[in-house]
Amino acid sequence: MKNIDSISHVTGRSLYVDDIPVRTGTLYGVVFTSPVAHGNILKLDTSQARAMEGIAGVFTAKDIPGENQIGGVIPDEMLFADKKVVFHGQPLALIVASDELTARKACRKIITEIEPLEVVTDPREACNKGMLLVPPSTFRSGDINKAWDQCEYVFEGKTETGGQEHLYIETQGAYAYVMENRHIKIRSSTQGPTHVQKFAAKVLGIPMHRVEVDVTRLGGGFGGKEDQATAYACMAALAALHLRKPVKLILHRIDDMRMTGKRHPYSADFKIGLSKELKIIAYQATFYQNGGAAADLSSAILDRSLFHSTNSYFIPNTEVTAYSCKTNLPPNTAFRGFGGPQGMYIIESAISKAAHELNVPARLIQQKNLLREKDHFQYGQVAKNVNIGKCFRLLDKDFGIEKIAREIQSYNRKNVLHKKGMALMPVCFGISFTNKSMNQARALVHIYQDGSVGVSTGAIEMGQGVNTKILQVTARTLNIHPERIKIETTNTTRVSNTSPTAASSGADLNGKATEIACIQLLKRLLKTAASMLNTNPDKLAISDEWVLNEGKRSKLSWEQLVKTAHLGRVCLSEQGHYATPVVHFNKEIAKGHPFAYHVYGVALLVAHLDCLRGTFRFDKVCIVHDFGNSMNIGIDMGQVEGALAQGIGWMTMEEVAYDKEGKLLSNSLSTYKVPDIFSAPKEVKCIPLSVKGPKPAILRSKAVGEPPLMYGIGAYFALQNAIKAFNPAYVPDFNAPMTPEKVLLRLYQ
């Protein structure tokens, strides 16, 4: 089935926040932000701005009727700074005017006096100064101290990974208006409508039931709108409530880039110990996460880095400690992979280091240490239906790993100024929110009298195709045609207390809730059919919109059945509630069973280097990915390709740069380079592993949103190998992204 949005997307008819037809009297907001990264606010004078013609209002911390607090996990983030600013670009005021240009002009009339304080942007420096967002967290398994004695080889190293700008095509924004009785409606570009509802209510000092959040779709989120859409929705709502006028607030790209948080940069130390047979016996690491100025989701992201710190390998003795460091940067946030990519980069670096020192291909170490059935993850969960070995075998069978390696060797022998390098990148990614309570969802399914169906869930469509998947679940469960079904907007008054659409589990959680609701409806309808056909419901089924009686088509169609059920006063609406079974995790001892299942896969990447220029491309990427039983292979392949490109971008070209004063330097697309069609691998081949999907996966179709991003990590190591082929003196270092500039330096160092 095609993505149900494809036609409206390509014809430009899909609606985003800025496309919503505005109401009469709509006003426009612009955020005034801190010009410095750290300081005491001595003066914030908005009077001149207020006095300008066309200005409807200027709102600061003083105008907040409720709490000036939007910290999602820890209450440490203000909507508007009041006494202190802690990052460059931190909101100080919202200016609302009859048009945006006027609001922008008024921005320049605001006078601030800020006493500068020391700016810290480096996570290790912050850690040394004791500036942590949350207490450190450690995962342990086996006995690390005893383990080193059993190792034949021990290697140590240091790694750096950079940030990453989400670059959703639709920037952050919201449109808020007051209905009667101070009921406020917010159209927001958010992955977490309930998060917006909860914090808008808190900021406005009203109960949640007075705030209705409605989301049609997002022009991308990638984690950047899991928590960070909330501030702008709250600001629009605050102004709308004060002014009793609709208020629209959409960030310009340059403002979005400098004000919002990104993927967390990590600095890390590792120590890896191997046996003579190249079995990894011990792994010890310390992660320094650059959290930015407020906690946001940093602690949960830190946890996922720990969960994925051994990637797809079984390592009997581990000890990994992670610090979430408080710096004067915009609070960093969720980004596809949610800390997993950072954790995996570090273990892959350790393996690359060992491979270099031992003069063996990294793939040998990778393959010797793959997770096997019933191995324990270091967090206690027993690995079940482990598919990583199968993925490697299929990759080798279909593409020939050693054959490609030989081809590269021979290419490198024949060419002086062009070199190739390959790397394998295995992935094992846990599916579920690591916070147990978030693993729940609801769906509201209405069957209308005419037989058409409307489905509301908590899922947010952001391009990943979750609405199409939910439509498929409905069609399959009710056995009716897709044209009969409409997926409604995501609305907090129809479906309440939603988890954000994140952790790749949007389709699983909301799809399961939809399935549960549909099964209940089907049961009721079949009961009606049974009384009409004078038989037992067990003998009946619906297929292709007809009631089957003992497998044979009866005279009863879907439409007739629905109509009769309604006349017979049968309820044609149902709410389904789903809570992922089994998952649990005890943070105190860092053990449990946090994931419903794991997604596996492996990629082989071939980098092609121009050794005069330092430029490169990826000739091919061969992937075996474990989709389970993909319910929509077109959408799922799209997720693999998009995530791969995004992962390669993070590893090879996207460089988030701040100056020492904490000001973003890479604040536009001329200074922040993202992958485009020309930098996409020349050839991407992805083969689905043919295995049965697990039960908690919707229709046994595994979650796919985040895992393939981590295939991109292989790009770094493929480039390393190409550099080595040109410059044998190059000692692999681990400092991502490996930009062409860095490549050039390493070719001739």
Residue 235 or 503: the one with the smaller Cβ distance to ligand HPA is: 503
Q: Which of 227, 696, 135 is nearest to 430 (CA)?
A: 696
Least Cβ distance, residue 191 to ligand MOS (angstroms): 6
* Among ligand MOS, ligand HPA, ligand MTE, none, partner that 635 touches (CB below 5 to 8 angstroms by kind): none
Q: Which of 664, 657, 659 is nearest to 260 (CA)?
A: 664
Q: Are 620 and 446 in contact (CB under 8 A)?
A: no
Tell me how far apart the 2 most distant CA atoms of the chain are, in Å. Answer: 85
Question: Who's near 685: CB < 8 A, 6+ residues apart?
Answer: 399, 620, 621, 622, 623
Q: How far is CA 254 from CA 97, 172, 262, 339, 642, in A?
A: 20, 11, 14, 25, 24
* Residues numbered 292-351 forming contacts with ligand HPA, rule: CB under 6 A: 297, 300, 304, 334, 338
User: Interface with ligand HPA includes 133 (CB under 6 A)?
Assistant: no
Residue 73 or 154: the one with the smaller Cβ distance to ligand MTE is: 73
- 3 state SS of 546: strand
> Which residue sits closest to ligand HPA, CB atoms considered?
503
Select which of 165, 319, 348, 706 is catalytic: 706
Size of site (CB under 6 A) for ligand HPA: 12
* Residues numbered 9-68 forming contacts with ligand HPA, rule: CB under 6 A: none
Residue 28 or 338: the one with the smaller Cβ distance to ligand MOS is: 338
Residue 59 or 597: the one with the smaller Cβ distance to ligand MOS is: 597
**CB under 6 A: which stretch of 82-90, 95-103, 528-536, 698-706 binds ligand MTE?**
698-706
**CB under 6 A: which stretch of 231-239, 360-368, 405-413, 431-439 binds ligand HPA?**
431-439
Q: Which of 98, 78, 100, 96 is nearest to 34 (CA)?
A: 78
Least Cβ distance, residue 46 to ligand HPA (angstroms): 36
Using DSSP bridges, classify how beta strands 27-33 and 91-97 pair: parallel, antiparallel or unpaired.
Answer: antiparallel
Q: How far is CA 621 from CA 37, 421, 627, 635, 681, in A?
A: 41, 12, 18, 19, 7
Which pair of structure tokens corresponds to residue 683?
């050839």
Which pair of structure tokens corresponds to residue 604?
């082989």
User: Interface with ligand MTE includes 336 (CB under 6 A)?
Assistant: yes
User: Interface with ligand HPA includes 434 (CB under 6 A)?
Assistant: yes
With CB under 6 A as the contact rule, the residue among 228, 318, 342, 464 that binds ligand MTE is 464
User: Interface with ligand HPA includes 204 (CB under 6 A)?
Assistant: no
| Positive or negative: CA dihedral 719, 724, 729, 732 | positive
Please give the residue ranges that form the binding site for ligand MOS (CB under 6 A). Answer: 191, 223, 226, 334-336, 338, 502-503, 706
Residue 265 or 707: the one with the smaller Cβ distance to ligand MTE is: 707
* Among ligand HPA, ligand MOS, ligand MTE, none, partner that 127 touches (CB below 5 to 8 angstroms by kind): none
- 3 state SS of 655: coil
**CB under 6 A: which stretch of 131-139, 295-303, 456-464, 581-589 binds ligand MTE?**
456-464
Amino acid (one-letter) located at 88: H
* Among ligand HPA, ligand MOS, ligand MTE, none, partner that 220 touches (CB below 5 to 8 angstroms by kind): ligand MTE
Pure H helices in 539-601: 558-567
Assess whether 156 carries a catalytic annotation.
Answer: no
Residue 120 or 466: the one with the smaller Cβ distance to ligand HPA is: 466
User: Interface with ligand HPA includes 431 (CB under 6 A)?
Assistant: no
User: Interface with ligand MTE includes 462 (CB under 6 A)?
Assistant: yes
- 488 torsion bin: left (phi>0), alpha (psi -120 to 50), beta (else): beta
* Among ligand HPA, ligand MOS, ligand MTE, none, partner that 556 touches (CB below 5 to 8 angstroms by kind): none
Least Cβ distance, residue 523 to ligand MOS (angstroms): 34
Tokens 């002009």 sit on residue = 105
Residue 157 or 688: the one with the smaller Cβ distance to ligand MTE is: 688
* Among ligand MOS, ligand MTE, ligand HPA, none, partner that 462 touches (CB below 5 to 8 angstroms by kind): ligand MTE
Q: Are 476 and 699 in contact (CB under 8 A)?
A: yes
Amino acid (one-letter) located at 127: C
User: Interface with ligand MTE includes 365 (CB under 6 A)?
Assistant: no
With CB under 6 A as the contact rule, the residue among 330, 421, 506, 576 that binds ligand MTE is 506
Least Cβ distance, residue 118 to ligand MTE (angstroms): 34
Residue ranges of E strands in 595-680: 597-610, 616-625
| Helices and strands of the chain, counted as H and E runs | 19, 30
Q: Is the peptide bond before 136 cis (omega within 30 degrees of 0)?
A: no
User: Interface with ligand HPA includes 435 (CB under 6 A)?
Assistant: yes
Least Cβ distance, residue 294 to ligand MOS (angstroms): 18
CB atoms within 10 A of CB 104: 15
* Among ligand MOS, ligand HPA, ligand MTE, none, partner that 198 touches (CB below 5 to 8 angstroms by kind): none
Residue 708 or 732: the one with the smaller Cβ distance to ligand MOS is: 708
Question: Who's near 359: CB < 8 A, 6+ residues apart?
Answer: none
* Among ligand MOS, ligand MTE, ligand HPA, none, partner that 546 touches (CB below 5 to 8 angstroms by kind): none
Supply the DSSP string of 288-338, one letter for each residue.
Answer: EEEEESS-TTHHHHHHHHHHTTTTTB--SEEEEEEEEEE-SSPPP---TTT
With CB under 6 A as the contact rule, the residue among 639, 701, 720, 739 that binds ligand MTE is 639
User: Interface with ligand MTE includes 172 (CB under 6 A)?
Assistant: no
User: Interface with ligand MTE includes 501 (CB under 6 A)?
Assistant: yes
Q: Are 313 and 427 in contact (CB under 8 A)?
A: no
CB atoms within 10 A of CB 115: 12
User: Interface with ligand MTE includes 500 (CB under 6 A)?
Assistant: no
* Residues numbered 495-554 forming contacts with ligand HPA, rule: CB under 6 A: 502-503
CB atoms within 10 A of CB 448: 14
Q: Give the residue numbers annotated as catalytic, written as ranges.
A: 706
Chain residues in the site for ligand MTE (CB under 6 A): 220-223, 336, 462-464, 466, 501-507, 639, 642, 703, 705-706
Chain residues in the site for ligand HPA (CB under 6 A): 226, 297, 300, 304, 334, 338, 433-435, 438, 502-503
